[in-house]
Structure 1
C-alpha cells in the first residue's frame, strides 16, 4: 500500500470516529432541549399568578417601594449575563456576551457605572481573559438550572438594589439572556427587571408586548393589604425577580441545547461529506497504484519477451 493511500485511510478512520462522537452529542442535546422546553412551560402558571399579584399591588396602592420607584438620576446599574458552562454551541455564548456589552455601553453613555454579574463559565472566562471586573459569578448549573439556583443568583442582586448607591448598591437591574423561540431560532436579548415598570410587567416566558396585549382588557381585583402594601411588596417582588431569573435560566438552557444540537448536526454532516471526499481520493490513489502496477507488469513482460526473442535469434 502506498504512502498516500495510508494517509487517506488514517484520516477516514479519524473522521469516522469524530462523526460518531458528534452524532451522539447531537442526540443528547436533542433530548435535553425537549426536557428544557417542558420546564419552561411548567414554570408559566406560577409566573403568571405571581405577575398578577405584583401588578395588583403596584396598581392598587400608592406604595413607595425601592423596587418599584425609579431614581431620578440613576448612577449605578447591575447587569446579569447568562451564558453556559460548556461550549460547542455555535454562536450562543458570543451573541449573549455581545448583547451584554452593547447594553453596558449604553448604560455607561447614560452616565451609569455598571456592575456585571455572570452565570456560566464561558462568560466568566471571556471577562477574565480581558481583565474586566466581575461583581459575582455563578457556575456549575447552566445545563439543568433549578429554582434554588435562580434564588442563589437573585439574592445578591436584590440586596444590591435595596442598598443606597453610596453603600455599594445599584439603581437598576438588567438581565441579558437567550430567548428560546424555536429549535432553529434563539435570540439574545436584554431587559430591565428592576425598578419594575408596571406597564411592562410580563409573565415569564412572554414578551412585554404580548403581556400588555393579553392583559389590556383585564380588570384586576381590588385588594386590602395587611399589614401594608409595602410589606406585601417586600415579600412579592423578590419572588418575582427569582421567577424571572429562573425562567431566563430555563430559556437559556433550552437555547444552548438547541444551539448544540444544531452545531453537532452541522459537524456530523460535514464529517460525512469529508469522509466521502477522502474515500474518493483513496479510491483514486488505489486505482493509480493498480494502474502503475499493471504498467510495470506489462513493461516487464514486454522486456522479458524482447530478451527471449533476442536470445533465440542469436
Structure 2
C-alpha cells in the first residue's frame, strides 16, 4: 500500500511539472501571436494593392507576358510547402503536409510531374524520413520570417518557372500553407501562384462580380510596368503566406499547450483522488489490524 501511495505521489509531481512547462509555453505563444498578427495586418494591404495593380495592367492590356501566359500543356508543377521549424502545435504541420500530398496526387493523376520546394524543418524532416526528394529547402525562419527569405524563395521559383521544362523547369507553381482564420481555426490552403490567373473584364462583368479598375497610363510602356510589378507581386504573395503561416503556428501552439495544461489538471485531480482512496484504505487496514490485535489480547 505504501508503494502505491509513492507511485501516485510521483505521478502527481510529474503532472504538475508538465503543467508548469505547458503553461509557460502557452503564455509565450500568446505573447508572440500578437506580433505575428500585427505583421499579417501590416502586409495584407500591400499584397492586395499589388495584386490589384497587376490584375488591372494584365486585364486592360494585350501583353503576352511569360508569367501570365497559360502554357499549352503542363507537364511539371512545383509545390511550395510552408511548415514550421518546431512542433508542439497540434495538427498544424500534419494537416498542411497532408494538403500538399493530396494536391501532388491530384496533379500526378493529371499527368504532371511534381517538384517540391520546402520551407520549415518539419516538412524537411518529413521528406527526409520518407526519402522523398525536394528541389530546394529553407529552414530557421519559420517563427519570424523576413522579407529577404521571401525574396530568395520567389527568385528560386521564378527561375524554375522561366527555365525550359527539358532543363528541369516547371510550368506552374502552387503554394500550400496554413491560413490564419482565428485563434481557434487555422485552415490549410493551396493557391496557384504562377501563371497569374487573369480574369477577362467582359466575362467578369457579365457575372456581376467585376472590380472597377482605374484607367492607367503606362510609362514607358505596359510591358516594362508589368516586368516591374510581377516580381513584387510574387514576393509579396509569398511573404504574406509566410506571415500567415507563422501567425497560424503560434495560434496552434497556444491552443495545443492550453489543451495540454487542461489535461495535466485532469490528471492531477484523478491521481489525487486515487491517492486519497489508497491512503484511506491504508488507514482502514491499520485500524482493523489494531482492533484485531486488541481483541486477540483480550481473549
> Could you say whether these structures have the same fold, taking a TM-score greater than 0.5 normalized by the shorter chain as the test?
yes
The aligned runs of 1:132-151 (5 Å cut-off) are: 132-151=132-151
Instruction: Quote how far apart the aligned CAs of 1:216 are.
Output: 2.7
Which of 255, 278, 293 aligns to 2:248? It is: 255
Indicate yes or no: 2:278 matched with 1:285. Answer: yes
Query: CA contact under 8 A between 2:85 and 2:142: conserved in structure 1?
Result: yes
Matched with 1:166 is: 166
CA distance in 1, matches of 2:173, 2:196: 9
Indicate yes or no: 2:59 matched with 1:66. Answer: no
Matched with 1:235 is: 228
Query: CA contact under 8 A between 1:56 and 1:223: conserved in structure 2?
Result: no
Distance 1:199 1:146, change over 3 A: same
Matched with 2:217 is: 223
Instruction: Quote how far apart the aligned CAs of 1:305 are.
Output: 2.2
Query: CA contact under 8 A between 1:179 and 1:255: conserved in structure 2?
Result: yes
For residues 121-173 of structure 1, give each alpha carbon's deviation from its aligned partner in whole angstroms, at most 9, with x where no partner exists. 11111111111111011100111111112112111001111111122211101
Scaled by the length of structure 1, the TM-score of the pair is 0.89
Q: Which has the larger radius of gyration?
A: 1
Scaled by the length of structure 2, the TM-score of the pair is 0.94
3-state DSSP class of the match of 2:178? strand
Query: CA contact under 8 A between 2:218 and 2:225: conserved in structure 1?
Result: no
3-state DSSP class of the match of 1:178? strand
The aligned runs of 1:24-39 (5 Å cut-off) are: 24-39=24-39
3-state DSSP class of the match of 2:199? helix
- Unmatched 5+ residue regions in structure 1? 201-208, 307-314
For residues 166-195 of structure 1, give each alpha carbon's deviation from its aligned partner in whole angstroms, at most 9, with x where no partner exists. 222111010001111111111101110000
Query: CA contact under 8 A between 1:23 and 1:268: conserved in structure 2?
Result: yes
The aligned runs of 1:79-98 (5 Å cut-off) are: 79-98=79-98
Query: CA contact under 8 A between 2:47 and 2:236: conserved in structure 1?
Result: yes
3-state DSSP class of the match of 1:218? coil
Q: CA RMSD in A?
A: 1.8
The aligned runs of 1:1-314 (5 Å cut-off) are: 2-199=2-199, 216-226=210-220, 228-306=221-299
3-state DSSP class of the match of 2:192? strand
CA distance in 1, matches of 2:213, 2:196: 20
Q: How many residues align?
A: 294
For residues 103-136 of structure 1, give each alpha carbon's deviation from its aligned partner in whole angstroms, at most 9, with x where no partner exists. 1111111111111001111111111111111101
CA distance in 1, matches of 2:78, 2:240: 19
